[in-house]
Amino acid sequence: MTAVLTERQQLARTLANELGKMSNVWVTSPLPLDDHKKLRMQIADTARNEVIQVLKDWGWDPQFVSILPRVCPTGLMGACIYEVDLPRPRQAVVDDRKIHGEIATPKKTSVELEGIRKYLGLK
């Protein structure tokens, strides 16, 4: 059984696949991406400038998160964690501006209110 992915999750999967094709880039976010998470990736220091430039050329703004070395067969490799915030779906605004209570539906006027209106010259 396969779950239907949202547009944001499909975008995250596509971006993760494209980043996975690059050398020295690892997507560390679990997919499908949670609605409240950013796409997180680890980029080796040797490829950082090139990958960041490619992401910016694609219209993304990667944000630095932390330094976390990558373990590889030759030892530790200098690498940093970056995040890309994917657009979230816009929430529909509910029009709840209706005024409830006495202002919207006035009660029947009593004799006292009629007297006050008559005294103020409103009637």
Q: Which pLDDT tens digit goes with each residue over 63-91?
A: 999 999 998 888 899 999 999 999 988 88
Average pLDDT, the chain: 87
In a domain, 106, yes or no: no
In a domain, 12, yes or no: yes
Tell me how many domains the chain contains: 1
Q: pTM, whole model, 2 decimals?
A: 0.69
Q: Give yes or no for a contact between 19 and 86, defined as CB atoms under 8 angstroms apart.
A: no
Torsions phi, psi for 116 (to 5 deg) = -65, -45
Write out the residue range of the structural domain in which residue 52 sits.
Answer: 7-84
Torsions phi, psi for 93 (to 5 deg) = -90, 125
In a domain, 16, yes or no: yes
